[in-house]
Amino acid sequence: MERAIPNHVGIIMDGNGRWAEMRGLPRSEGHKRGVERASEIVRAACGIGIKALSMYAFSLENWKRPESEISVIMSLLETFLINDLDNFMKENIRFRVIGNRAKLSAHIRDLIGHVENTTEKNSRMVVHCALSYGGRDEIVRAVKRLLVSAGDASDITEEKLGCLMDTDGAPDPDLIIRTSGEQRLSNFLLWQSAYSEFFFTNTLWPDFSREEFLEAIYQYQMRDRRFGKVKGGNFQCI
């Protein structure tokens, strides 16, 4: 029996710094390799028919890192956006940034807006870049918007709140992958991941290959997703 490809995959791209340190290289080299790996995995996901790919690039907590490292990451982001725009258009990929943009520089915000606007009508796959992102912050921002529009408490529903999340328009992630051996969400897609499957690997992100990505998809396909129901959809007392 043919197994379904997940509609939406989230990836916590972890381990760039450790990858570099293990090799006696500056952390910036790990981030550079990580960006290259991200481009490869975007192509792989698009090639097998995934409709949405959410990649955790930079958390709100990451702003606490040294200024020099943040500067490198933002420079690499700029290069990624400029270099990959042609590929997004060629492959019919829509690009969106999810997260709190307030701390981003005006230049980066303008560049993000340009890429988002240019790819807005692309429909083969959407790539969410979680940048300056935190799941709790996302929920708080959504609740604030909902309170402005809700007449009273009875107007507040899961569906209405879900439509105000940064990923509105995309299905909830079927699968979340985390590299580097850590086994936690780290504030990533907290609302959306209620029924996600998880794939954890010890591989550091710069070494996470297309082959291992496809292995994660295969492992997902072997799982029985019941969403709280009994297998087969019926419950009988014996």
| Active-site annotation, residues | 14, 62
CA dist., res. 216 & res. 200, Å (int): 9
In eight-state DSSP terms, residue 2 is: P
Write down the H helix ranges in the chain: 16-22, 27-47, 67-90, 106-119, 135-149, 158-162, 210-221
CA dist., res. 130 & res. 100, Å (int): 9
Yes or no: say if 194 and 28 are a contact pair by the CB < 8 Å rule: no
Yes or no: say if 172 and 8 are a contact pair by the CB < 8 Å rule: yes
Q: Is 103 helix (H, G, I), strand (E, B) or coil?
A: helix
Amino acid found at 216: A
Alpha-carbon dihedral sign for residues 173, 179, 183, 184: negative
Yes or no: say if 184 and 129 are a contact pair by the CB < 8 Å rule: no
